[in-house]
Amino acid sequence: MDPNKVQEIMEYVLDDDFNTQGLIVVRGNKIVVEEYRGISESTLSGLQSVFSNNDWDFDIDEWRNTWGTRDQYSLVTSWSTAKSFASSLIGIAIEEGFIDSVDQYASTYLPNWTGTDKENSVTIKDILEMRSRLQCPLGGNGGSSIYYQEDQLTPSIERDFNQDLPDNGWVYCNADTMLLGEVLLNATGFDAMEFGERYLFSKIGMTVEWWRDGENKYLTYCCLDTTTRDFARFGLLWLNQGVWQGEQIISSTWIEESLKPAAKVNWSETIEYGYQWYMHEGLNDGEDFLDVFAYGAKGYSTNHITIVPSYDLVIVRNSLYSRNINVGSESVRTGDLDDLDNANYHLTLYPGNLFIRGGQVYLMDSSNIKQFNSEAMVKGFIESLIE
């Protein structure tokens, strides 16, 4: 890799305004780039301005301490990158004989659907591909309103069929992936964390904490906490066709099936969706297009794992993360998020000079709005390779 070009793209990724906590590039099964950082003084200054303009309290020293130094041992969160983990666990459950196939009806493992119009109507494959045809809960980012509820499984199960679907039937919805955790539990007898630890995490050396709702159900659509290095382990496992140190952890057949495009996403002409994975037909940095196949697990605030098989690359980028456990001592999403001092929640800083609160966007510098472009990052690292 050309060190000058690598340095150039690293400077982009680690820009003060992008709130990057961790960056790892793996090639040839080795870490070739690894950087960590905490919050920048310019971001603190921008946040202070936003809070002042809205008459909110802001303790700059508290923010500096909360979002300060980060290293390889610091936790980051997955947000929706967890969906690709949940899909992998379903694949392992099929390989282990707990589930017959993706063509089974989900109602086999969701007894609340028995006797309803959803019985024998929605397959596991439909859910994996985000084509369940069920109405998504309210809120952006895939029906984010369920994140605010103590019981997040019940509203995911008790949904009616959507009468207004796009032509390809694809609707990105957190509630669909929430169902996968219940399918896994009822098929195997293990919840997502137990099953994952037994068949995946421990085998590749990952140490994982996975958030639950107030009813003790794992949030399989999001909220898996680990380190940037451990997310890179998962990406490397997929790059190596499911093999880790000679052991087949995820079947290569499952990986192949997972990466078959089911539908184009509704926000890009070059990105398709499979079994909770995104496939890129190419990479666009805003100026040029690079014709290369890449796939990835994507989470809010650009918490991404990107895999480029033809270049033997795994690239992980995470936003600055802080977990806030104010009720009890465990990572359980509970409490009223209008009263943050008495709620458990996790928060990442936006990858740009913006601040988002209550779904409202506040500009830190309206004269120079910056937003991180993950495709530009991946394209840059590819272009740094010396032929």
Query: What's residue 247's pLDDT?
Result: 98
What is the pLDDT, as a whole number, of residue 243? 98
pLDDT confidence of residue 367 = 81
pLDDT at 122 (0 to 100): 98
Confidence class of residue 357 from pLDDT cuts 50, 70 and 90? confident
39-81 pLDDT, tens digit each: 999 999 999 999 999 999 999 999 999 999 999 999 999 999 9
pLDDT score recorded for residue 103 = 98
pLDDT of residue 174: 98
Of the pLDDT bands very low, low, confident and very high (cuts 50, 70, 90), residue 359 is: confident
Q: pLDDT, tens digit, for every residue of 228-264?
A: 999 999 999 999 999 999 999 999 999 999 999 999 9
Side-chain-side CA neighbours of 118 within 13 Å: the count stands at 25
Burial of 133 (0-12, 13-18, 19+ CB in 10 A): middle
Burial class (CB in 10 A: 0-12, 13-18, 19+), 149: middle
**CATH fold of the domain at 3-383:** Beta-lactamase (3.40.710)
Average of per-residue pLDDT across 178-207: 98
Give residue-wise pLDDT tens across range 288-310: 999 999 999 999 999 999 999 99
Place of tokens 């009806």: 105
Look at the chain and count its residues. Answer: 387
User: Helix 374-383 to helix 3-13 angle, to the nearest 10 degrees?
Assistant: 170
Using the CB atoms, write b or e for 237-264: b if 16+ within 10 Å.
bbbbebebeeeebbbeebbebbbeebbb
CB 257 within 8 A of CB 276: no
Q: Indicate the range of 56-65, 325-334, 349-358 predicted with least confidence.
A: 349-358
**Does residue 387 surpass a pLDDT of 80?**
no
Q: Considering the entire predicted model, what is its pTM? A: 0.98
Q: How many CA atoms lie within 13 A of 219 on its CB side?
A: 30
Residue type, 149: Q
- d(CA 294, CA 308) in angstroms, rounded, equals 5
Best CA proximity match to 228, nearest among 247, 249, 207 = 207
- Given a cut of 90, is residue 88 above it in pLDDT? yes
Mean predicted lDDT score pLDDT of the chain: 96
Q: What percent of the chain has pLDDT over 70?
A: 100
The string of pLDDT tens digits covering residues 360-385 is 899 998 788 899 999 999 999 999 99
Can you give the C-alpha Rg of the chain in angstroms? 20
